[in-house]
Amino acid sequence: MIEDQVVGQKNQRKTSAIKHGQKNTRLYSVWISIKTRCHNPKVNAYKYNGALGIKMCERWQKNFLNFKADMGESYQEHVAQHGVKNTTLLRIDKEKDYQPSNCRWATKAEQAFNTRKKKRQFMAIRVSDCSLETSSNITEFAQKHGLSRCCISTALHGHTKDNRYRDWIFLFVDDRSG
């Protein structure tokens, strides 16, 4: 009897995923990813979410269709404007759970600005006019000056001659090595 109930529950979970016909969609993949990193201690990303108390709201956790009802339309709009590969789900407040009032779709660049990690301060010296700027956000600095974030990071970590990239010299402000 108990064994039949367990098998029935497993089959019910499998058929509920198939019933909505969304199993192979990007939106479903996002939902599964959130659910996993918030509620499965066996996955690596759990340490950044579930282990810190970040959960998926009960409404979304219960059913993918609830997640789709809350986020599906705005997802489609964001994808139409920015493309599937540049559409990510962002928690507005990194200390709060995944829930409708704390989530919105964002580009990868927007996602990079919204991080919990403390970023290292760096300085950038423009060789041509000896101007100096400090920042802690490589992506933002790169966008502001039309530079490559990856190349700035490479220079900051000492992988270019004299920490240079184009007309700039990049150095971390603190004394830790890159």
Lowest mean per-residue pLDDT among 8-17, 27-36, 126-135: 8-17
Domain boundaries defined on the chain? 22-108, 122-172
Q: What is the mean pLDDT of residues 94-99?
A: 90
pLDDT for 144 beyond 80:
yes
Count of Cβ atoms closer than 10 Å to residue 168 Cβ: 21
Interior angle at CA 71, CA 70 and CA 76, nearest 5:
135
- Are 82 and 64 a contacting pair, CB within 8 Å? no
pLDDT for 138 beyond 90:
no
Name the pLDDT band for 118 (thresholds 50, 70, 90): low
Beta strands in the chain (DSSP E): 88-91, 103-106, 122-126, 131-135, 164-165, 168-172
Task: Considering only residues 104 and 94, tell me which one the structure prediction assigns the higher pLDDT.
Answer: 104
Q: Which amino acid is at 80?
A: A
Residue with the two structure tokens 């066996």:
42
In this prediction, residue 146 carries a pLDDT of 95
In this prediction, residue 136 carries a pLDDT of 86
Task: Considering only residues 68 and 48, tell me which one the structure prediction assigns the higher pLDDT.
Answer: 68
The pLDDT tens digits for 21-57 are 788 899 999 999 999 999 999 999 898 899 889 999 9
Q: What is the mean pLDDT of residues 65-74?
A: 96
Name the pLDDT band for 174 (thresholds 50, 70, 90): confident
Interior angle at CA 109, CA 53 and CA 130, nearest 5:
120
pLDDT for 6 beyond 50:
no
Which residues are bridge partners to 172 per DSSP? Answer: 122
